[in-house]
Amino acid sequence: MYSIGELSRRTNVKVPTIRYYEQTGLMSVPERTHGNQRRYDNAGLERLTFIKHARELGFTIEAISSLIELQDNPDRSCEAATEIASAQLGDVRARIKKLRSLEKELARIARGCDGEGKSSDCYVLESLADHHHCQQAH
């Protein structure tokens, strides 16, 4: 059995986050000692590890909840899990595309100023002040 502090140390998830996961239903409310301290078993540790990894991959709380529901019902089809993962992949790809666009625009803006002049003539500052200097939407 693990205290909430020990669970936090083992998973590198902060105590308030663990409590939040309990409040949202991602984690089961653990047993408590006579002194009202939470006590987690190995299943709680495994669940928190699952949640942490899913969060690191960018899944939303709602998506993780759906994945946990599938995990808790092993006889169900994994089609929904595949759909959730595919949707997350699509979101990540869209963010990467946007970040690449931002990278190009920022590189162009940074190249526009050699840093030698005065701020009153700075291309970077002019570009930030007037969106019309931008060559692409972002």
Please state, in angstroms and rounded to a whole number, the distance separating the CA atoms of residues 48 and 35: 23
Domains and CATH numbers, the chain: 4-76 (1.10.1660.10), 95-133 (no CATH)
Q: Is 74 exposed, middle or buried (0-12, 13-18, 19+ CB in 10 A)?
A: exposed
Among 45, 43, 31, which Cα is nearest to 72's?
Answer: 43
Helices of type H across 4-117: 4-11, 15-24, 42-56, 61-72, 79-111
Q: What pLDDT, in 10s, does the model give residues 109-138? A: 888 877 787 888 788 888 888 777 677 766
Q: Say what the pTM is.
A: 0.79
pLDDT at 138: 66
Please state, in angstroms and rounded to a whole number, the distance separating the CA atoms of residues 90 and 13: 27
Say which residue, 130 or 102, is predicted with more confidence: 102
